[in-house]
Structure 1
Amino acid sequence: MKEAQLVENDFIASWIHEIKTPLTAMKLIMATRQSDPDIRKMETEWLRIHLLVDRQLYMTRLPALESDYVLEQVSVQRLAAEEVRELAAWCMEKNLAVSIEGNDATVVTDRKWCRFIIRQLLTNAIKYSPTGTSLTFRTNVTEQENVFLDLIDEGPGIQPHDLPRIFDKGFTGGNGRIHNASTGLGLYLAHTVAAKIGITLQVHSIQPQGTTMRMTFTDSNAFETVRRGQADNIPL
């Protein structure tokens, strides 16, 4: 069964890489006709397909995350800004104003996987935010040198009885059933990756005042501590 699963994962990864080629070609064609309003609408739909394919690729990599893990010092606000640029077409389609507030901070984390977490949170916020509202990234540093990155939306909020289950695999909740747009995977994957790379995810929501998703970066990275300890014990 394990061997069959590995074969299936290799097949899915191969399919994803193959489909990225026509997607890239489509992107280049659309870039030459930005003045056409129909092309701009197609760009938003292209972005949704791209996000689904990209998420599937990360899902195939998730079991081997430990071997695809590179720590570096990165700016939290820069990570958020990079994801905002990636999803700009979708934000413009819904007329969402996106701002980044607070004092910037540097954390030690894996840039690629951390951006994946932010992307899942941002995708979720855009999906459920009403047209013409705003999204806010806010950073803060505590006295214990823990770094917070909050994503605040003005959506419908999450029902109290749904809050304990939002990170469960396949759970769509009341909003997902109403909008029929949820797979129950985005927040589950974000939470799973966060736990693996030493980031804590929390949610605060009061209906109908919106939702705040908080990423907490601790002052030290547990994975890096273990890795260094193992390296120190390797005989020369």
Structure 2
Amino acid sequence: MRLSQFLKDRQYLILFYVIMMVFISLVVYLDPHFSTGLGNIIYFNTVTIVFFFIYLLLGFFRRRKYVAELQDLTNNDLPVEVPAALPEPLTHEQALIHQVLIRIYQEQLTQIQGLHNEKVENQEFIISWVHDIKTPISASKMMIKHHSGRSPEEALDKLEDELAKIDQYVEQALYYSRVDTFSKDYFISEFMLDAIVKASIKKHAKMFISKKINVDLENVDKTVLSDKKWLAFIIDQIIINAIKYTDQSGKIQFIAEENGSEIRLAIKDNGIGIKTEDIGRVFEKGFTGALGRKFAHSTGMGLYLSKKLARKLGHELTIISEEGEGTTVTIHFPKALDFYQVAK
């Protein structure tokens, strides 16, 4: 920092000093009660100017080191740790500025870390998704090449099963990619819950039939507040999981209950259940658990996406399970007043 820059920063202080000294000198010179000559006034002003200039010089040398260290930071292309790199503040104002800079730096680090984690998660999902979708594609190719010994109806039936799996993975990837832009693509309305449930059951009817799974609907004729499209996806994911982990000739129940604050849709199966040590992690991204790893095509994304989307809709997703006994996943729909309080 040059002296001229330092003086320019203090131009108002210098102007104030000049005006003050001119005023004092005029008062002393013109007041008849003071017998001070012009020479004494010049001497008095000269001394005060010298002291004032010394004061400015001391301030300049004291501040020059601080500014030089800041300039080194701005001219340095290497990454720096802001809290450690900042010079020692000389004033209370500088200390406050340092605190603001450190806070901004820490917030940026948090944002960068969040973006990095999101990038890693997205990359892991893409790798997992590509790996998973290759399985039904490869199976479809094998069926086309080696269809001898099967009737055309049987071959088409098996091919349809693999295409359904591909469709599920594509739909899952589509909803995953739109989670972050959710606020631009939803419409909350009142509708009958049984319509969504029945449509989802019909959509997966072939899976129910192939495993001879019984379906039981109980009091699902309730009116709920939600987005039809996103809720349908959530129910689809829960049904797919329930079918996947339910044995042949099993049973899946859809039970709706209501109290003063909410409507609950419980989707209950009598499948293999979840280990106690895994129950707290089933909504984590990519988590399949000890039992899930025994089954093919267990990506661990269905319940993760369902939980995330449910919360964005103002709902809640809970799960209870006992290994060997079955699993119950419950969607909680708050009543109108509670829903809008959550949405805010």
- Return the TM-score normalized by structure 1: 0.77
The counterpart of 2:274, out of the listed 131, 155, 158, is 158
Alignment of 1:112-191 (within 5 A): 112-142=229-259, 144-191=260-307
8 A contact 2:220–2:254 mirrored in 1: no
Match of 1:57 in 2: 174
Equivalent position SS for 2:293: helix
8 A contact 2:220–2:265 mirrored in 1: no
Are 2:313 and 1:197 equivalent residues in the alignment? yes
Alignment of 1:215-226 (within 5 A): 215-220=331-336, 224=340
What do residues 83-117 of structure 1 show as CA deviations (whole Å, max 9, x unaligned)? 11111112112111222112521011100011111
Equivalent position SS for 1:157: coil
Q: 1:186 to 1:212 in 2, by over 3 A?
A: same
Percent identity for Structure 1 against Structure 2: 32
**Hey, which bits of structure 1, 4+ residues long, moved more than 6 A?**
none
Are 2:189 and 1:109 equivalent residues in the alignment? no
8 A contact 1:72–1:108 mirrored in 2: yes
What do residues 133-179 of structure 1 show as CA deviations (whole Å, max 9, x unaligned)? 1111111111x141110111111110111011100111110111122
Question: In terms of mean alpha carbon deviation, does 179-188 or 166-175 score higher?
Answer: 179-188
What do residues 171-193 of structure 1 show as CA deviations (whole Å, max 9, x unaligned)? 11011112243111111000000
Are 2:238 and 1:82 equivalent residues in the alignment? no
- Return the TM-score normalized by structure 2: 0.54
Give unmatched runs, 5+ long, in structure 1: 13-34, 230-236
What do residues 38-89 of structure 1 show as CA deviations (whole Å, max 9, x unaligned)? 3222222211111111111111111100010101111112111111111111
Q: Distance in 1 between matches of 2:257 and 2:184?
A: 31
Report the alpha carbon displacement of residue 37 of structure 1 after superposing the two structures with TM.
Answer: 2.9
Q: Distance in 2 between matches of 1:97 and 1:136?
A: 8
Q: Distance in 2 between matches of 1:201 and 1:148?
A: 10
Equivalent position SS for 2:224: strand
Q: 1:81 to 1:205 in 2, by over 3 A?
A: same
Equivalent position SS for 2:197: helix
The higher radius of gyration belongs to: 2
Kindly tell me the number of residue pairs found equivalent between the two proteins: 201
RMSD: 2.6
Equivalent position SS for 2:215: strand
Equivalent position SS for 1:212: strand
Higher strand share: 1
